[in-house]
Amino acid sequence: MSETILCGLIGTGIGASLTPIMHEEEGRAQSLPYVYRILDLDVMGLAPSDIGELLTYAKRFGFRGLNITHPCKQLVIEHLDELSPDAAKLGAVNTVLFDGGKAIGHNTDWSGFGRNFDTGLPGAKLDRVVQLGAGGAGAAVAYAALTRGARVLTLVDSSLARAQELARTLAVQFPTQSVVAKHTDDLADALAGADGLIHATPMGMAAHPGMAFSPDLLRPDLWVAEIVYRPLETELLRQARLIGAPTLSGGGMTVFQAVDAFRIFTGIEPDSDRMLAHMTALVQGEQAAVAR
């Protein structure tokens, strides 16, 4: 393959994203002429509503594909020609492929979390699962949990209306499973009988240190899955590990969604173990630099 594969990431405040580095490093390992660029709306002085214009220019300039992040995952949909079945169900797109003159939307957030869960928490009990956070990546993560067989999924959010809206949408798609919405005030009651917790809020990120709730609510028999990956060990995961609870970091979700996007863009299967090792080294390097 001699023609350059040009891809990119659209969003706001994405200058520090590790996605370009992960994609280009795997491209080099595959001996591909692979170039991945950041298209930060803030830097370009564009508004999220300009996403359609950006897609048009990307298509004209020969981009093979784009990853889409906050705040454009829903806004981009009206500018696409086709949606994959999962993207249509989720109402969110994080990957766009330009192929045959068409812009085709995919969602690899849900598959990224699902594969990370399968790999990192094999055999985890899924009778009763609580997800804290129903916004942002919440829909994709909840969708993944239900596809994995969560019998009762309780969505807990500081906005009860937001949790209820997502619960209604998912209940239609998974009629044989139960999706319940609760306010964060009811988190303790929800966790009391749960098998596992999925954390899908920004708490724990470098810019939002700490935990979203008291560690007293954790139990050794309650598995904990995180979507935050910078740092790889959030305060939530640290507290869960201290009491011996099974844990899953958000690093795998980030890598596996990139794995799926790379495959969509190139038609080539990437080495997920290599990409995971590379991402882990990058994040650990950042943490070491901060510690110094």
The string of pLDDT tens digits covering residues 105-123 is 999 999 999 999 999 999 9
CA dihedral 187, 206, 234, 132 (to 10 degrees): 20
- Phi/psi of residue 122, nearest 5 degrees: -65, 135
The pLDDT score that the predictor gives to residue 5 is: 97
Say what percent of the chain tops pLDDT 90: 91
Mean pLDDT for the stretch of residues 148-161: 97
291 — pLDDT class (breaks 50, 70, 90): low
CA–CA distance, 164 with 24 (Å, rounded to integer): 40
**Of 214, 207, 221, nearest to 236 (Cα)?**
214
Q: Look at residues 137, 147, 134 and name the one whose alpha carbon lies nearest to residue 174.
A: 147
Residue 277 has pLDDT above 60, yes or no: yes
pTM: 0.92
Give the catalytic positions in this structure. 73
Task: Read off the pLDDT band of 286 (50, 70, 90).
Answer: confident
Contact in structure between 79 and 51 (CB atoms under 8 Å): yes
Instruction: Tell me the residue length of the chain.
Output: 292
How many angstroms separate the CA atoms of 200 and 111, rounded?
Answer: 15
Q: What is the mean pLDDT of the chain?
A: 95
Tell me what pLDDT residue 290 has.
63
